[in-house]
Amino acid sequence: MEVLAWMCTAAVQAQIERPRLVVGIVVDQMRWDYLYTYYNKWEQGGFRRLMDQGFSLDNTLIDYVPTVTAAGHASIYTGTTPAFHGIAGNDYMLHGRPTSSVRDTTVAGVGTDSSAGKRSPRNLLATTIGDQMKLATDFQARVVGVAIKDRAAVLPAGHAADGAYWLDGKAKRFVTSTYYRDALPRWVSRFNDEHQDLLAGDLWNSWRGAAATMQLAAAAIDGEQLGRDEVPDLLTISISSTDAAAHNYGLHVPRVDSIYYELDRQLALFFDLLDRKVGEGEYLVFLTADHGGTYTEPFMTGHRVVTGTWNPSQAFKDTNAALEARFGVPKLLKSEMEFSFYLDNELIAAHGLDRDAVAAEAVRLLSVPDEVQWVVDFAHLDRYVLPAELRERLVKGYKQDRSGELFIIPTVGVYARYRPDAGANHGTWSQSDSHIPLVMMGWGVPHGSSSRQVAMTDIAPTVCAMLHIQAPNGCIGHAVTEIVDYSTNR
Radius of gyration of the chain from its Cα atoms, rounded to whole angstroms: 23
Measure the CA–CA gap between 310 and 247, rounded to whole angstroms: 15
CA-to-CA separations, 190 to 49, 52, 59, 91, 237, in angstroms, rounded? 31, 35, 41, 33, 19
Cα 421 → chain centroid: 25
Measure the CA–CA gap between 382 and 195, rounded to whole angstroms: 55
Measure the CA–CA gap between 349 and 490, rounded to whole angstroms: 63
b/e burial code for range 18-34 (CB count within 10 A of at least 16 → b): bbbbbbbbbbbbbbbeb
Active-site residue identified among 60, 67, 69, 81: 69
Active site residue 69: yes
Measure the CA–CA gap between 163 and 259, rounded to whole angstroms: 26
Interior angle at CA 487, CA 225 and CA 32, nearest 5: 80
Asked if residue 293 lies in contact with residue 246, where contact means CB atoms within 8 angstroms, the answer is: yes
Asked if residue 82 lies in contact with residue 64, where contact means CB atoms within 8 angstroms, the answer is: yes
Q: Residue 410: enclosing H or E segment and its boundaries?
A: strand 406-410
Measure the CA–CA gap between 301 and 290, rounded to whole angstroms: 27
CA atoms in the 13 A half-sphere facing the CB of 229: 7
Instruction: Annotate 41-91 with three-state secondary structure.
Output: HCCCCCHHHHHHHCEEECCEECCCCCCCHHHHHHHHHHCCCHHHHCCCCCE
Positions marked catalytic:
69
